[in-house]
Structure 1
């Protein structure tokens, strides 16, 4: 597929920091390596905490509040940001990450060096009225110009051209990731929510697994996944393998993995209402405890009360109310293992979100897809 030929915002227009980029030849090879990911789940489960009344309620709230971690995005980024729009809609940047230490190290096989990486990024736009949502997945392998940013510790990081999107998080953490997304989209992120992938696995197990149907066998030794075509109730380990796999489906790219993640998220949203949370206070507490341990939020969401309020505003959104797309990209002619923004089509996505409108189908027509659509669905 042809790439966009005119550089623009978020597209490198000059040689990167490691020298000029060269056009690659031959077939697009399947990238190797272990990848980590996570999905938005904590808010829906946190909503059920309100039923944990009685004499232990104070302890429960204190305990769960103590689990939460937060980042003051507003303080780190200051005023040099897109204008906050007060039209009843909200934009949330959701990241899935690993820290390569502790439980994450055991799951991912990485090195215990304390470094962190974000391999899943979703812009969740909740439309006015809280009845519909649009989700735009941002491929980690997108080549961008990263803006200068200040992280939550006050350390400044220089701008860089021709780098991968997920370098923003590994360079400057949550604040730099938000700054980069706002630079690409021109849209202010109202909230930030991060899920680590060891917590994701535990949460799926607490929920009793998630049922999905696969239309083909999926085998990927890198993500320890071996599924025959058919319907499966995935354990946490299998679910993690599914949303991490990139070699077992499609063209082996990150784009195919994104399509699996989107399908899995819809299946999760469909089933989370039916796991007995509201009839079993113990199960509810166990899920809420795991969920709050797994997430990092912006300061405005950093309490159980705030999460409950936020989740309550989303509880009417079901899978049929979610429009899920991948940020419009094309394979990079300079490196077939990377992608670049399809600027004109991406602009139509950002315009739709700014105007609180549905994303037009034309926005993704003719863009790179990863060829894994329809491989996974809710049964």
Structure 2
């Protein structure tokens, strides 16, 4: 096959994906929103990777205290992974395992409608989570196909969510590496069906809704106020696009961060960390709903990454939306175009391992929680009580250990915070936000 013909076929495939992706959805569910169901599980994994890994580790270490056998092997002491971590979480829009009466028919192709990049700093003091819009127009690199052969990239562009269908998870990783300039050694793919299991495993997630959410496409109807969402209701909340902000996919990202920041706070709370049943349920739900890269398919690796995440303060876990705006022309009209200057600033900071600071808003899908100060104070009080209880339960350090502790280790200065431009949206896990609802009359 000539290169010209191969190039033409690639463009046809891309155009089909673009056109299909723009179809109007029936009420029972559109494929243009289904992929975002996976966003919940994807960013949930950022938080639960720590808890799931440590849960398995603790369970295994506890088993070692049982009946000793002649051929017992000592469980190694596992510490935090050395250096920084780049980890790509991909959400597939596959219909596998879903109820045909709830979701529309399988389109016969699989798109990566969710692409979330986790960066853990080399000193393990901060983490940045970048949500890449599914319709972001990017350059496709040369990717391996199912037979291991490559196809020519050569500057061909298209929405990023076609890369999974082109060459599987490896192609998504290569595409994001070219987009960001980062090396990504760890990756996982999650199907959206798992978000129900994860929401149930955690016992529901409390979200704040500032104005009513009304969305006939996803059957999401929530009054203003506080709601604890689990199962299908949580899934509907994560799917909604028409019912929040300006009805765009970019607005939906910030709305999802209302759910995800609340989930991270719950997962890192004492109520979850000290509950072995909850830990095991989260671990099982996470592992059961992931396809892992070979580099990640190891308990030691998962626990090592977990150890790097577990002590990062909520205010140092930053969710960022990849800088972009809706625009374009021709077949890419209405797709998300990169805001290159802002994107360059974001990834220069990540490459330099600087903590990220936000100066803009959370995005049009969310607003600040008016009760944020009171909620933060209550959370701090609960954490202090839990810490005091844990300290009381811990054995008193010996005199020798106390004397050795007097020699404090040398510390290195904290790296300078890279404050992003005001046009970059996001929030920290420590921020309390509410969904900016949108009624049917506003649509």
Q: Tell me whether the two structures share a fold, i.e. TM-score over 0.5.
A: yes
The match for 1:189 is: 184
Mapped partners of 2:240, 2:256: distance in 1: 10
The match for 2:3 is: none
Alpha-carbon displacement from aligned partner over 1:330-359 (angstroms, at most 9, x marks no partner): 222415521111112211111111101134
Deviation (angstroms), 1:276:
4.7
More RCO (CA 8 Å, sep 6+): 1
- When the two structures are superposed, what TM-score results if normalisation uses the length of structure 1? 0.76
Q: What stretches of structure 2 of length at least 5 have no aligned partner?
A: 1-9, 16-21, 68-80, 360-418, 427-431, 437-443
Deviation (angstroms), 1:293:
0.6
Q: 1:182 to 1:242 in 2, by over 3 A?
A: same
CA-atom RMSD in angstroms:
3.3
The match for 2:303 is: 308
Deviation (angstroms), 1:195:
2.4
Deviation (angstroms), 1:111:
2.4
The match for 2:197 is: 202
Q: If each structure's helix is expressed as a fraction of its own residues, which one has the higher value? A: 2
The counterpart of 1:272, out of the listed 241, 261, 267, is 267
Contact 1:207 1:275 in 2 (8 A): no
Contact 1:140 1:166 in 2 (8 A): yes
Contact 2:137 2:158 in 1 (8 A): yes
Alpha-carbon displacement from aligned partner over 1:141-189 (angstroms, at most 9, x marks no partner): 1112211201465243442733111111122111000100111111111
Contact 1:138 1:327 in 2 (8 A): yes
Mapped partners of 1:18, 1:130: distance in 2: 44
Deviation (angstroms), 1:282:
4.0
Alpha-carbon displacement from aligned partner over 1:187-238 (angstroms, at most 9, x marks no partner): 1113112222111210110110011111111121222211111111111222
The counterpart of 1:261, out of the listed 237, 256, 263, is 256
Deviation (angstroms), 1:274:
3.8
The counterpart of 2:210, out of the listed 215, 218, 222, is 215
Mapped partners of 1:278, 1:367: distance in 2: 33
- When the two structures are superposed, what TM-score results if normalisation uses the length of structure 2? 0.65
Instruction: Find out whether 1:350 has 2:347 as its counterpart.
Output: yes
Q: 1:156 to 1:312 in 2, by over 3 A?
A: same
Instruction: Find out whether 1:44 has 2:50 as its counterpart.
Output: yes
Q: Which moved more, 1:225-234 or 1:328-337?
A: 328-337
The match for 2:63 is: 54
The counterpart of 1:139, out of the listed 133, 148, 153, is 133
Q: What stretches of structure 1 of length at least 5 have no aligned partner?
A: 1-15, 22-28, 59-85
The runs of 4+ residues in structure 1 deviating greater than 6 Å are 55-58
